[in-house]
Amino acid sequence: MDNTPYRRPAADKPETDTMMHDDKPVRRFTQSSWFWVLIGIGIVVVAVGILLLLKNSSDSRRQAEEALKAKEEAELALEQQALQFEYESLNREFGEFESQRMRITNDSLKLALEEKYNTARMEVERLQRELKDSKNKSAAEISKLKKEIDTLRGLLKHYVEEIDRLNKENQALREENAQIKDQNQQLQSQVSSTAERNRQLSQDMERASKLNVNGLSLQPLNKKGKNEKNVKKAKQFAVNFTVLKNVSASVGEKTFYVRITTPSADLLGGGGNFSFEGGSVPYTAKRTIEYGGDDVPVTIYYDCANNTLTGGAYTVEIFTDGYRVGKTTVNLK
């Protein structure tokens, strides 16, 4: 007989997610549990994706910023280079106007323009050195350089305007000078013509006022004052002539100088000298008369007793008022 106590069969229990395994309970995953696991994995994946996206976005933004900065620097460098070329071009133009600047006779204006230009040029060169030494060029520095170069351009334009103005003034002066030169030439021609007429009139007046003589003769005289035929025996020479009437000549005292030249071309001298054509001329004898404008007979005597005379051609010349008024040659025996 079996002595095992009687046990009532247990009522059916619903299945659970736990089972015994080697006397230890083991939890089973149900469909609900797998759902939450998948949800967690999805969240992690999404989070990783967001992080990657944010990282890529940050890198892209940094790269974009770097590219933009590089672009700006390149543009600034190009603009600086362009300004450098423009500065050199302005300097060349300024040098080309160097000779024309000399036309500016206003020293204060010239000095003011040169001082302004040189000041602006030195500032441009200083900014260029700073930009050349600087690794990071700023738009403000480039803008400042551009402003200074614009100042240079304005000064150069002012130079050109001044030179153009001076050229116009010089052209006007040249035209005025040419006109004045023509007028001066016309006046000079008129003056020369007038001077020639005056000279001619003066000569005419001189010729008109010049005294003239006629009847000029040379007569040997003996010791009694009578005519001597043999010149070797002559003691005096009598020079005879008549001063003709001349209403244009000045009246008053007139001195007449006589020159007697022997056949051997020796001057019978002893009288002294008189002025003639800028020189001093020796004479034989002289006489001063009172001339009233009418005919006046004149005789001038020369004592030749101490001269050795020979026969031949004797020349007689009469001078007065700076003119030679008479000349003749007389053959004496």
What does the mean pLDDT of the chain come to? Answer: 76
pLDDT tens-digit readout, 32-83: 677 777 787 878 777 777 777 777 666 667 777 777 767 766 776 777 677 6
* Report for 14-28, 91-105, 133-147, 148-162: range of highest mean pLDDT: 148-162
The pTM of the full predicted model, rounded to 2 decimals, is: 0.43
Which residue is listed with tokens 């071009």? 89
Q: Which two tokens stand for residue 230?
A: 């043999």
Beta bridge pairs of residue 29: none
Asked whether 241 and 254 are in contact (CB, 8 A), the reply is no
Asked whether 85 and 79 are in contact (CB, 8 A), the reply is no
Helix, strand, or coil here: 150?
helix
Tell me the CA distances in angstroms from 102 to 106, 146, 174, 244, 317, one per residue in order.
10, 29, 17, 72, 69
Phi, psi of 90 (to 5 degrees): -65, -40
Asked whether 149 and 84 are in contact (CB, 8 A), the reply is no
Asked whether 20 and 26 are in contact (CB, 8 A), the reply is yes
Q: What would you report as the CA-atom Rg of the chain, rounded to the nearest whole angstrom?
A: 68
312 vs 76, higher pLDDT: 312
pLDDT over 60 at 17, yes or no: no
pLDDT tens-digit readout, 205-242: 566 567 888 999 999 998 888 998 898 988 989 999 99
pLDDT over 50 at 18, yes or no: no
Q: Which two tokens stand for residue 110?
A: 């010239």
Asked whether 241 and 325 are in contact (CB, 8 A), the reply is no
pLDDT tens-digit readout, 81-137: 776 676 677 666 666 655 555 555 555 666 776 777 677 677 767 766 766 665 556
Note the maximum CA span of the chain: 244
**Percentage of the chain modeled with pLDDT above 70:** 67
Q: Which two tokens stand for residue 135?
A: 């690794």
Banded pLDDT at 263 (limits 50, 70, 90): very high
